[in-house]
Amino acid sequence: MTPELSTTSSSRTANAGDMADAAVSRRLSHLRQLEAESIHIIREVAAEFDNPVMLYSIGKDSSVMARLARKAFYPAKLPFPMLHIDTTWKFKEMIEFRDRFCAEHDIDLIVHTNQEGKKANINPFDHGSNKYTDVMKTQALLQALKSGGYDAAFGGARRDEEKSRAKERIYSFRNRFGQWDPKNQRPELWNLYNGQLTRGESIRVFPISNWTELDVWLYIHLEKIPIVPLYFAKKRPVVEREGILVMVDDERLPLAPDEVPKEELVRFRTLGCYPLTGAQKSAATTLPEIIREMLLTNHSERSGRLIDHDEDGSMEKKKREGYF
């Protein structure tokens, strides 16, 4: 044994009190622990699957997931592309943010739109939010995954978002039709993920499953992660419909004769398609103010999204059909 080694081992046979002190000084905060786990998951998928892709929704959760992915492979670039499902009804600022972000970090971006749906002019006004979401989001996503031949797709869903997500696994298996069977998921123990696929199967992977909305915001704050400006309060043109403030992002939003857009100081808690995403009145223009508002409002974040209230257990239904 070299002298150097014997010193190391003698310092390690210190008494229990010292061991405890050493453990406390080497404590990882919950955010760093969540970060380490998410990076582990992302690397594991990159190593075990042939053709992964990361779904990028441009929202805050996606921004955190993209940061974690960059950390996982630093100093190398991402070994997989990012995929954005463009319904053509996203906020303009989201698209600008997306393009800037991917260019800055040399990320391979794939943008997919359901062309048949686009031709048929499927939109949230004439066809209702259910049909529109099915065609322009769910079907579009399944098309893109199929045409890319991806065997693993990362998503930024969190288990605290909705009750049905509480039981979702990190590796969520989909049959060849992209459907989820909540009764037939594999048990997940420790950090040992079973990535063996049967022909035609694919998985959705949720590396930030264990993060809560507060964790996501705290991490964005700690890491100074850029997010779409729509999260911050600003004067924006809105109309009020059934108690929900809808932003007039472009001229395609049909206005009733008595509807006149008003400039209001508003911001968004979640981002999606602008006609389906409610704004909230707010004066929060900094991250700490946003977090304060979130904590004090104490409202489920998805209550701002119209698609969840259609019927009881609605998210679970959508998920079985392939929606994230």
Q: Tell me which residues in 32-71 interact with another protein (CB under 8 A).
A: 32-37, 39-40, 43-44, 46-47, 70-71
Selection from 295, 294, 222, 288 nearest residue 68 by Cα: 222
Contacting another protein (CB under 8 A), which of 3, 15, 76, 224?
76
* Residue 4 binding another protein, by CB under 8 A: yes
Contacting another protein (CB under 8 A), which of 119, 196, 243, 256?
196
Kindly indicate which of the ranges 97-105, 130-138, 196-204, 264-272 contains the residues binding another protein, using the contact rule CB under 8 A: 196-204
CA distance 317 to 93: 30
* Residue 31 binding another protein, by CB under 8 A: yes
CA distance 111 to 117: 15
The CB-of-128 to another protein minimum distance in angstroms stands at 22
x/- binding map, residues 107-146, to another protein, per CB under 8 A?
----------------------------------------
Strand 278-281 to strand 244-247: parallel, antiparallel, or no bridges (unpaired)? antiparallel
Nearer to another protein, 163 or 252 (CB): 163
Largest CA distance in the chain: 87
Contacting another protein (CB under 8 A), which of 95, 148, 212, 244?
212
Residues contacting residue 211 through CB under 8 Å, at least 6 positions apart = 34, 38, 64, 158, 160, 219
The CB-of-253 to another protein minimum distance in angstroms stands at 26
* Residue 265 binding another protein, by CB under 8 A: no
Angle of helix 213-223 relative to helix 287-297, nearest 10 degrees, comes to 170
The CB-of-49 to another protein minimum distance in angstroms stands at 12
Report how many residues bind another protein under the rule CB under 8 A: 79
- DSSP string covering 79-92, please? SS-EEEE--S-B-H
Count Cα neighbours of 234 within 13 Å in the Cβ-side half-sphere: 10
CA distance 174 to 30: 31
Judged on CB neighbours under 10 Å (0-12, 13-18, 19+), 209 is: buried
Contacting another protein (CB under 8 A), which of 218, 228, 245, 247?
218
Count Cα neighbours of 80 within 13 Å in the Cβ-side half-sphere: 27
* Residue 226 binding another protein, by CB under 8 A: no
> Contacts with another protein in 271-310 (CB under 8 A)?
288-289, 291-292, 295-296, 298-300, 303
The CB-of-241 to another protein minimum distance in angstroms stands at 19
Residues contacting residue 62 through CB under 8 Å, at least 6 positions apart = 55, 56, 156
* Residue 164 binding another protein, by CB under 8 A: yes
Nearer to another protein, 11 or 115 (CB): 11
> Contacts with another protein in 173-192 (CB under 8 A)?
182-183, 185-192
Contacting another protein (CB under 8 A), which of 72, 102, 227, 306?
72
Selection from 256, 258, 248, 247 nearest residue 281 by Cα: 247
